[in-house]
């Protein structure tokens, strides 16, 4: 079955960009991942929300076919994050992080999801990510995200986790920090030596680089003229990638490359609106057109012109 | 004729990187440009050196077919630049800039080069770049580089120059500064509105983006595992690009795209050794193989897999 089990945060984001602001918009890694991946394949998410979490934010996902049976409703406040982006949208300041019910989150995988073959471990404590792996039977492909906070504070646990995942998705800063290698090609090799067969390094507006056994593949960032809000672009990228792989039921290198482009496409859509709103109106043709645009932006004929 | 007339600095560079150091190595925009472009088409450079400039640094170029009749030898010291790169090679500190005879440089184009059809204006005062254009008859294609120093201090002259060039080559920071647009797609549009039909924005290790009338094309940075010295990579990039275009005698969009990849290839070779040394041993097969590697790194098949 090509259903993805995704574990991560389900939050409410308050975001300010040079182009506007939004309060308590649906957010969190599981939300953005699922909003993107659901365009490719069925997705089940496991997470927790507080008693104040608006039903509309959840029905937005269920309306798009996301299975929410693994989302626990706990007494207390929902996880809230607030951030502000600078003029060029490349810098962001975290204004507040209120963990709420997320502080005591212990993912419990419903029985019917323990046979999931495709697993995405969103950016949460690696201890909890390992705990999820204990609860699933024999996943075919485990993809994992992390961040500087865990690399610094939970390195040992993270390294144990790395040995059990097939695919690590990090940004350039995280790859450098994790490996101690400033050179990204070397950083990827280091990571592969410590577990994952495949590594993707995300570079924000500069796109993403995929490292597989013998191949390197680059996908550029989509040159959006208007970026409304980059929040969640990284999780939407993961959703596009894993969504495509699960749909194709293959992690052959050709599919991995294609998946990287789907990832960049979904990441670019995430930037076009506040929250995961853009994914509500997205249709297959929009995705297809953007992927074609990526091909058009990178294809060139390699012929040697006649000599001098 | 596909000969390129290139005007720029001919200097001596003293560089320190985490991997070693070099003193008074051949450098300057004209040197790196010519060392790269000469692999594609004949090149003539116009510049000035001091009486202390080592013959070996010039014969290095003439041995590779670069015509040096336009290089004036003036009494005084050569232009010297000193710089030091940080751990990850993305940051560099200028230790000294001694203009020497370059301070009074006024490019004088030899009569036999005034009919040049392909002109590269390396990064010098835009007043001098304009002066070069006064001395050439009817160039078919004028490419131009500049830097933050001139964007800040000589904006008016630079804007006049822009109206007369076909192709501007800048890095991302310069594009943003010149246009006042943080978004690179918008920055390129702004630049195109002010003159050049084509713009390339260089992004260092992240590659380069080409903007033509209706097309955007991305070429990634080559993922070198060992970067010895990035000095001159931008000029070598320009050399590969204009070199390819002049050899192909075409600025058709397909050639412009291919040229961008040749540019990235030559820029990557520049990083493999101190000074322009790597270009001495480079053969056509090396270039061809690297361009193939770029294709391999960016090609993907776009087919929609069967639906869910």
* For B189, nearest residue in chain A (alpha carbons): A225
* For A221, nearest residue in chain B (alpha carbons): B218
Check if the beta carbon of residue B247 is closer than 8 Å to that of residue B2.
yes
In a domain, B305, yes or no: no
| CB atoms B87 and A288 under 8 Å | no
| CB atoms B297 and A176 under 8 Å | no
| CB atoms B207 and A218 under 8 Å | yes
| CB atoms A184 and B308 under 8 Å | no
Which of B70, B33, B68, B5 lies closest to B234 in space, CA to CA?
B33
B212: which 2 tokens? 């033509």
| CB atoms A300 and B297 under 8 Å | no
Place of tokens 């040197």: B31
| CB atoms B225 and A288 under 8 Å | no
| CB atoms B41 and A308 under 8 Å | yes
* For A284, nearest residue in chain B (alpha carbons): B304
With 0-12 / 13-18 / 19 or more C-beta atoms within 10 angstroms meaning exposed / middle / buried, residue A194 is middle
In a domain, A308, yes or no: no
Backbone angles phi, psi at B277, to 5 degrees: -55, -40
| CB atoms B223 and A304 under 8 Å | no
Q: What is the pLDDT of residues B250-295, one digit of tens each?
A: 999 999 999 999 999 999 999 999 999 999 999 999 999 999 999 9
| CB atoms A300 and B257 under 8 Å | yes
Q: Best mutation site among A243, A254, A300 for testing chain B: the one with the most B CBs within 10 Å?
A: A300
Report the percentage of chain B scoring pLDDT > 70. Answer: 97
**Residue among A186, A207, A292 minimizing CB distance to B302:** A292
Q: How far is B99 from chain A (nearest CA, A)?
A: 33
Q: What is the pLDDT of residue B302?
A: 62
A13: which 2 tokens? 């984001």
Distance of CA A304 to the CA centre of its chain: 40
Residue B133 has pLDDT above 60, yes or no: yes
CATH of the domain at A30: 3.40.1190.20
Q: Which residues of A touch B179 (CB under 8 A)?
A: none
Q: How far is B3 from chain A (nearest CA, A)?
A: 10
Buried b (16+ CB within 10 A) or exposed e, A7-18: bbbbbbbbbbbe
**For residues B189-218, average pLDDT:** 96
In a domain, A307, yes or no: no
| CB atoms A297 and B216 under 8 Å | yes
In a domain, A271, yes or no: yes
In a domain, A220, yes or no: yes
Q: What is the pLDDT of residues A250-294, one digit of tens each?
A: 999 999 999 999 999 999 999 999 999 999 999 999 999 999 999
Q: What is the pLDDT of residues B88-118, one digit of tens each?
A: 777 889 999 999 999 999 999 999 999 999 9
State the Cα–Cα distance between residues B106 and B182, nearest whole angstrom: 35
Report the percentage of chain A scoring pLDDT > 90. Answer: 89
Residue B211 has pLDDT above 60, yes or no: yes
Mean pLDDT across chain B: 94
* Number of domain units in chain B: 1
Q: Best mutation site among B42, B218, B272, B291 for testing chain A: the one with the most A CBs within 10 Å?
A: B218
**Residue among B295, B297, B302 minimizing CB distance to A216:** B297
A211: which 2 tokens? 């490292």
Q: What is the pLDDT of residues A161-208, one digit of tens each?
A: 999 999 999 999 999 999 999 899 999 999 999 999 999 999 998 999
Query: Which helix (DSSP H) or strand (DSSP E) does residue B35 occupy?
Result: helix B29-37
State the Cα–Cα distance between residues B99 and B129, nearest whole angstrom: 17
Residue B1 has pLDDT above 60, yes or no: no
Residue A239 has pLDDT above 50, yes or no: yes
Q: How far is A187 from chain B (nearest CA, A)?
A: 10
| CB atoms A304 and B288 under 8 Å | yes
Q: What is the pLDDT of residues A36-48, one digit of tens each?
A: 999 999 999 999 9
Q: What is the pLDDT of residue B305?
A: 43
- DSSP-derived letter for residue A73 is E
Residue A120 has pLDDT above 60, yes or no: yes
* For B299, nearest residue in chain A (alpha carbons): A299
Q: Best mutation site among B92, B205, B206, B263 for testing chain A: the one with the most A CBs within 10 Å?
A: B206
Which of B253, B254, B262, B204 lies closest to B230 in space, CA to CA?
B204
Q: What is the pLDDT of residue B61?
A: 94
Residue A13 — very low, low, confident or very high, per pLDDT cuts 50/70/90? Answer: very high
Q: What is the pLDDT of residues A78-108, one digit of tens each?
A: 999 999 998 777 788 999 999 999 999 999 9
In a domain, B217, yes or no: yes
Q: What is the pLDDT of residue A302?
A: 62
In a domain, B41, yes or no: yes
Q: What is the pLDDT of residue B274?
A: 95
Q: How far apart are the first and last CA of chain B?
A: 57
Q: How far is A299 from chain B (nearest CA, A)?
A: 7
Residue B198 has pLDDT above 70, yes or no: yes
A291: which 2 tokens? 């992927």
Residue B308 — very low, low, confident or very high, per pLDDT cuts 50/70/90? Answer: very low
| CB atoms A220 and B224 under 8 Å | no
**Residue among B216, B220, B295 minimizing CB distance to A223:** B216
Q: How far is B2 from chain A (nearest CA, A)?
A: 8
ipTM of the complex: 0.86
Q: What is the pLDDT of residue B18?
A: 85
Pairing mode of beta strands A216-219, A208-211: antiparallel
Cα angle B3, B9, B13; round to 5 = 125
Q: Best mutation site among A17, A218, A222 for testing chain B: the one with the most B CBs within 10 Å?
A: A218
Q: What is the pLDDT of residue A18?
A: 85
Give the alpha-carbon dihedral of A176, A177, A180, A184, to 10 degrees.
Answer: -10
Residue B193 has pLDDT above 50, yes or no: yes
In a domain, A304, yes or no: no
| CB atoms B305 and A88 under 8 Å | no
Q: What is the pLDDT of residue B92?
A: 87
Q: Which residues of B touch A41 (CB under 8 A)?
A: 308
| CB atoms A217 and B302 under 8 Å | no
| CB atoms B248 and A305 under 8 Å | yes
Q: What is the pLDDT of residue B304?
A: 44
State the Cα–Cα distance between residues A92 and A230, nearest whole angstrom: 10
Residue A308 has pLDDT above 70, yes or no: no
State the Cα–Cα distance between residues B191 and B170, nearest whole angstrom: 11
Residue B53 has pLDDT above 90, yes or no: yes
Q: What is the pLDDT of residues A181-194, one digit of tens each?
A: 989 999 999 999 99
Residue B307 has pLDDT above 60, yes or no: no
Instruction: Domain of residue B230: give its range.
Output: 4-298
| CB atoms B185 and A225 under 8 Å | yes
Q: Which residues of B touch A181 (CB under 8 A)?
A: none
* For A3, nearest residue in chain B (alpha carbons): B308
Q: What is the pLDDT of residues B161-185, one digit of tens each?
A: 999 999 999 999 999 999 999 899 9
Q: What is the pLDDT of residue B91?
A: 81
Buried b (16+ CB within 10 A) or exposed e, A43-69: bbbbbbbbeebeeebbebbeebebbbe
| CB atoms B308 and A42 under 8 Å | yes
**Residue among A220, A288, A308 minimizing CB distance to B304:** A288
């Amino acid at each position: 079955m090509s259903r993805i089990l995704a574990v991560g945060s389900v939050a409410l984001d308050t975001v300010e960009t040079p182009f506007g602001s939004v309060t308590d918009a649906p957010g969190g890694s599981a939300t953005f991942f699922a909003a993107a991946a659901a365009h490719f394949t069925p997705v089940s998410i496991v997470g927790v929300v507080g008693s104040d979490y608006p039903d509309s934010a959840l029905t937005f996902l269920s309306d798009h076919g996301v299975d929410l049976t693994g989302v626990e409703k706990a007494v207390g406040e929902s996880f809230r994050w607030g951030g502000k982006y600078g003029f060029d949208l490349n810098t962001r300041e975290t204004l507040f992080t209120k963990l709420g019910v997320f502080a005591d989150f212990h993912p419990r995988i419903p029985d019917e999801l323990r046979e999931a073959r495709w697993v995405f471990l969103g950016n949460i404590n690696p201890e909890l990510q390992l705990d999820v792996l204990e609860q699933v039977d024999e996943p075919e492909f485990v993809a994992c995200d992390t961040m500087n906070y865990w690399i610094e504070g939970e390195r040992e646990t993270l390294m144990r986790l790395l040995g059990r995942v097939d695919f690590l998705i990090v940004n350039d800063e995280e790859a450098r920090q994790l490996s101690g290698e400033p050179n990204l090609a070397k950083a990827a090799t280091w990571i592969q030596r410590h577990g994952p067969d495949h590594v993707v390094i995300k570079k924000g507006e500069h796109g993403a680089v995929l490292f597989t056994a013998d191949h390197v593949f680059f996908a550029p960032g989509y040159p959006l003229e208007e970026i409304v809000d980059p929040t969640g672009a990284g999780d939407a990228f993961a959703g596009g990638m894993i969504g495509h792989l699960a749909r194709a039921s293959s992690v052959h290198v050709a599919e991995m490359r294609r998946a990287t482009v789907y990832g960049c496409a979904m990441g670019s859509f995430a930037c076009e609106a506040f929250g995961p709103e853009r994914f509500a109106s997205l249709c297959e043709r929009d995705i297809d057109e953007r992927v074609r645009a990526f091909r058009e932006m990178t294809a060139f004929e390699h012929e040697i012109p006649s000599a001098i």
